[in-house]
């Protein structure tokens, strides 16, 4: 049991690094390329990168969500006294945000449904930052 949990937790961390890392690079760096490149150059450079991103990042997100759901099932614990503990509340919020990201990613990758409102990566990046912060406060 402990070996399985550790293995899946490691996979989860790596997949989150891949997904979150791409969002970090895209929001903070790739989106700024148009300041130094013409519109056509920016479009070509971005597409050259995105061709490779589309092969890895959506699947990393799916693995992150699937492994996260497994991890939650292992650590959520019993609800005692009719309410959630601090840990359970923050974990539930993380699960909701992560599941929303996963649903968005699955819709895009598998069903070719583009996001309706949030077309840039800033909002998913913000959610990843919130999830990371929640992770740090869960054990306090």
Domain limits, the chain: 2-137
132, 20 Cβ separation under 8 angstroms: yes
Report pLDDT for 58.
93
44: CB partners within 8 A, 6+ apart? none
Q: Which two tokens stand for residue 74?
A: 């292992």
Q: How far apart are the first and last CA of the chain?
A: 25
**pLDDT at residue 139, rounded to an integer:** 84
Task: Measure the CA–CA gap between 132 and 11, rounded to whole angstroms.
Answer: 16
Q: Has residue 119 got a pLDDT over 90? A: no
Tens digit of each residue's pLDDT (9 = 90 or more) over 58-110: 999 999 999 999 999 999 999 998 899 999 999 999 999 999 999 988 888 88
% pLDDT > 70, the chain? 96
- Rg (C-alpha) for the chain, rounded Å, is 17
Rounded Cα distance between 8 and 130, Å, is 22
Q: What is the pLDDT of residue 110?
A: 85
Q: Provide the whole-model pTM.
A: 0.87
């Amino acid at each position: 049991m402990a070996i399985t949990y550790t293995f899946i937790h490691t996979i989860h961390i790596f997949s989150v690094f891949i997904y979150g890392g791409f969002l970090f690079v895209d929001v903070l760096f790739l989106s700024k390329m148009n300041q130094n490149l013409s519109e056509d150059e920016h479009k070509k450079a971005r597409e050259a990168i995105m061709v490779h991103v589309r092969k890895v990042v959506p699947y990393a997100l799916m693995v992150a969500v699937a492994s996260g759901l497994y991890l939650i099932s292992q650590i959520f614990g019993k609800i005692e006294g009719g309410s959630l503990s601090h840990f359970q509340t923050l974990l539930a919020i993380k699960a909701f945000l992560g599941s929303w990201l996963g649903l968005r990613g699955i819709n895009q990758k598998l069903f070719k449904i583009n996001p309706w409102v949030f077309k840039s990566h800033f909002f998913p990046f913000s959610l990843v930052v919130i999830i990371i912060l929640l992770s740090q406060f869960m054990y306090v």
